[in-house]
Amino acid sequence: MNITGVSESQIHREILSDFLNLSEFDVFSKHVCAINESIVTEDPVQTFMLINKGSLYNRLLKPLIVDAVIGAEKTAAGSGEICLNLILSLVPHCIRDTRQNESHKSICDELSLCEKRLIKDIVAVGQKLDKDSLYTILDQEISGEESKRLASSAIEMSSLTTSIFVERSNAVGTKIEKASGCQFNISVINSFLMGRDSWNRKKVKCIIIDGMVETVGEIHHLLEEASISKEPYVIFAREFKPEILSTIYTNLQRGTIDVLPISVGLDEDTINILNDIAIACNTDVISSYKGDLISSAVKADLSVIDKISISKNSAIIENNKRSPRIDSQLSYLKRKRSLQRTGEMRSLFDKRIKSLLSDRVTVSIGTDIRTKERTCVEEVDKFFRMIRSLISYGYFKTSTIKKSKFKYDTMARDIIEKRGGLLPTACACIAIKYAISTISSISSTGYAIIDDI
């Protein structure tokens, strides 16, 4: 391992050199870039991440910038590109000021004041979102005509509380699906549907078992009650021994019970699914790890689901009264998702979040549109991620921010005005906060130790 020390003057020279070269990179223009054979991006942030330069830039500067840009984008959709442009534009000026013997403290203080003044002025010209402004932003953010029509259709199917998901589909056709209730992607043995496409019941008693049901004796009381009352029951468990399934199926054929066993298995997609199902059903998981006995649990008062629809590959659970446990779990899952560093882990949390959202629209974009409008998934997804902050915090016209006599303020305002059009207020404010923090860190760097591993 070779360790190299880099002095302040050398750092400043390299930063200026790297950033002057990067100045040709126009963040707000379209950079069509192929990530692989099937994915093309016009996102300037993703394009920027593919740029490589000298050792200091790649090892020190680029990670700082990328962390800030990704952090901003995750907090408010659309803020990443503004954050990136602010950093690329302001850092060289701050470094020059430092080299002209202006203190780090005075520069950081001025940047902090710039942040406060700019956010205050943006909030002052902010407006509430209405239908006209929403469609203006749609037209501004999405370039393809078919993509625009697709996004418009999804909006018309939604309400203020609807969550909209955009996904890439391998199917030829594009489709939009609206669903209510908590939906879990789990398989059911087809024969238990008794020749029907789905098992639809109201006022269903349910029990959720984190483990294997090994003997008929463990659920004997439940089967007996089901036979007497003729009420529908659903049993979620990791696994059922074959003789259990055989007993239930035989009684289903005879019409003596109305009980559906669902085996969720155990893999990375289902390891937490029973807990999420229990929250959707407003009940608790029966687990031997907690000292629970299945035979005792089935004798207790079971939770009742207002409505359930089970098909071969999914279960949709609906309750008329939304449990506060769902909101609590969603907050927890979103918080955990924000901490994940890999796309695979974020995807797992996205699936869990989507399952618990009871009012949702899913836009599955097929090859029919993607082959003609190659950036449609990216643009439509970004637009719908913007909507939540637009509803909460509104928007502003970039041309309406008042001018400033301060140097850093003027540069930052020019960058936002260059973005043009209507911009979510939260998007601009978040971009400014992340950018100013990163600019202060870079311009204050006095010494660096770089190891060549």
346 has pLDDT over 80: yes
Read off the tokens for 215.
């003997």
114: nearest Cα among 353, 364, 394, 416: 416
Q: Has residue 60 got a pLDDT over 80?
A: no
For 129-160, the pLDDT digits (tens) are 999 999 999 999 999 999 999 999 999 999 88
pLDDT surpasses 80 at 112 = yes
pLDDT grade for 300, boundaries at 50, 70 and 90 = confident
Q: Over 70: is that where the pLDDT of 29 sits? A: no
Q: What average pLDDT does range 10-21 have in this prediction?
A: 67
> Quick check: 48 and 403 in contact, CB under 8 A?
no
Output the furthest CA–CA distance in the chain (Å, rounded). Answer: 90
User: What's the pTM value of the predicted model, to 2 decimals?
Assistant: 0.73
pLDDT at site 242 = 94
Q: Is the pLDDT of residue 446 over 80?
A: no
Would you say 212 and 241 are in contact if contact means Cβ atoms under 8 Å apart?
Answer: yes
Q: Are 282 and 305 contacting, i.e. CB atoms less than 8 angstroms apart? A: no
Are the C-beta atoms of residues 256 and 304 closer than 8 Å to each other?
Answer: no
Q: How high is the pLDDT of residue 157?
A: 93
Q: 68, 434 in Cβ contact below 8 A?
A: yes
Produce one character per residue of 3-12: b if its CB has 16 or more CB atoms within 10 Å, e if not: eeebeeeebb
- pLDDT score of 20: 64
- Indicate if the pLDDT at residue 256 is higher than 60: yes
pLDDT recorded at residue 51:
63
Identify the burial level of 32 via C-beta atoms within 10 angstroms of its C-beta, where 0-12 means exposed, 13-18 middle and 19 or more buried: exposed
d(CA 224, CA 438): 66
**Percent of the chain residues topping a pLDDT of 70:** 85
- pLDDT digits 0-9 by tens, 84-99: 989 988 988 888 888 7
Mean pLDDT of 188-193: 92
Cβ atoms of 174 and 364 within 8 Å: the answer is yes
Residues 6+ apart with CB under 8 A from 280: 182, 184, 317, 319, 323, 326, 355, 356
Q: Is the pLDDT of residue 101 over 60?
A: yes
Q: What is the mean pLDDT of the chain?
A: 86
pLDDT of residue 56: 62
Q: 3-class SS at 376?
A: helix
pLDDT greater than 50 at residue 34: no
**Cα 298 to Cα 149, 203, 260, distances in angstroms:** 51, 17, 15
CA–CA gap between residue 316 and residue 308 (Å, rounded): 6
In this structure, are residues 208 and 339 in contact, taking their beta carbons and an 8 Å threshold? no
Can you tell me the mean pLDDT for 244-248? 95
More confident residue, 31 or 122: 122
> How many Å from the N-terminal Cα to the C-terminal Cα in the chain?
5
Domains and CATH numbers, the chain: 2-127+394-452 (1.10.560.10), 130-179+358-393 (3.30.260), 183-320 (3.50.7.10), 322-355 (no CATH)
Whether the predicted pLDDT of 6 surpasses 60: no
Contacts of 235 (CB under 8 A, 6+ apart): 206, 207, 209, 213, 219, 222, 259, 260, 261, 262
Return the SS3 of 163.
strand
Taking residues 239-246, report their average pLDDT.
Answer: 95
Ordered strands of the 175-180 beta sheet? 163-168, 359-365, 175-180
Strand ranges for 87-197 from DSSP E: 163-168, 175-180, 182-184
80: pLDDT strictly greater than 50: yes
